[in-house]
Structure 1
Amino acid sequence: MAAVEQNKLFFEDLAVGASFVSESYEMTTERILQFASEFDPQPFHTDAEAAQASFFNGLAASGWHTAAVTMRLLVESVPLAGGLIGAGSEISWPRAVRPGDWLRVRTTVKELVTSKSRPERGMAVLESETCNQDGAVCQRSVARVLVFRREPS
């Protein structure tokens, strides 16, 4: 891999049970409204007054906004060589994200599988929980990601 990848993690650097914790990210009203107006224009995401009468009883971030923020935090906290290249994911949103929430992601390596046909790579199963400032899980995901192996010396 290129010199820019020197401080990145390769398949051999990972272990089942290893975990990574991201920095925090604030979900402001402005960010929630801006994302929703472009990508998920539903009243409970775009109109605080209308959201009061909705299932959410107040303004809630789109789950896809939470997923996008989670991705940013993953990229910053799980430094895989070659990047985070997804091969599938399951995602759930057990709790709404609200204006003023600070999100943080804890990612745990659940499984590592070497490729039999592509010796330069393997797959990792990563479980991530995106929690708010109170530790409540707002998003849970299990993703399969491609992980490169070190080039032979």
Structure 2
Amino acid sequence: MLFFEDIEIGTRTRLGSYSFTEGEIIAFARAFDPQPFHLDAAAGARTHFGGLVASGWQAVVISARLRAQACARQHEALRREGRKVPRLGPSPGFKNLKWLRPVRPGDTLAFISEVTAKKPSASRPEWGLVFTRETATDPAGELVLEFTNCVFVERLEA
């Protein structure tokens, strides 16, 4: 992430990809979302999913991890160039979360973040709010996950 003033609307960042395995899907479900179609292929086969599927929350968590890793890589590149690294604040939240297609064992999703808007914080002049459209697509390019994210980013002009 760059300083607020340097971030351009429309910038797309490829966050990376992730392959979902049966073991990881089941482990995540046991810990966080123990619904039958996330825990057992036979139970999933008896549902409209027709088999084991990952929790949608698992895809969101993977998106968050890849986003954090992408920011860390960018900040490291800025340090190597001798540039100042902006502080990042917390996310005040997300909205419009959509799980559009089930994620199955063996699926590899590509995650992308696109800056859609930004505005200075009304209450904290040292911060700006950056809004992004976070997506995950399958190898056929079909949209699997989509949501709007928001994060506080340090301003230079504060």
TM-score, length basis structure 2: 0.84
Report runs of 4+ in structure 1 exceeding 6 Å deviation: none
**Contact 2:88 2:154 (8 Å CA) reproduced:** no
Distance 1:104 1:136, change over 3 A: same
The residue aligned with 1:62 is 55
Does structure 1 residue 101 correspond to structure 2 residue 101? no
> Deviations along 1:35-59, whole A, 9 cap, x unmatched?
0011111110000111101121111
Matches within 5 A, 1:1-153: 8-78=1-71, 79=74, 81-83=86-88, 85-90=90-95, 91-150=97-156
Deviation (angstroms), 1:24: 1.2
Q: Report the number of matched residues.
A: 145
Q: Identity over aligned residues, as a percent?
A: 36
Deviation (angstroms), 1:112: 0.8
Deviation (angstroms), 1:116: 3.5
Deviation (angstroms), 1:84: 6.4
Aligned-residue RMSD, C-alpha: 1.8
> Deviations along 1:94-151, whole A, 9 cap, x unmatched?
1011111112211111111012432211001110111122222111000121111137
**Contact 2:16 2:112 (8 Å CA) reproduced:** no
* Equivalent-residue separation in structure 2 for 1:55 and 1:77 (angstroms): 35
**Contact 2:113 2:133 (8 Å CA) reproduced:** yes
Greater shift after overlay, 49-58 or 84-93? 84-93
**Contact 1:36 1:62 (8 Å CA) reproduced:** yes
**Contact 2:52 2:105 (8 Å CA) reproduced:** yes
SS of residue in 2 equivalent to 1:16: coil
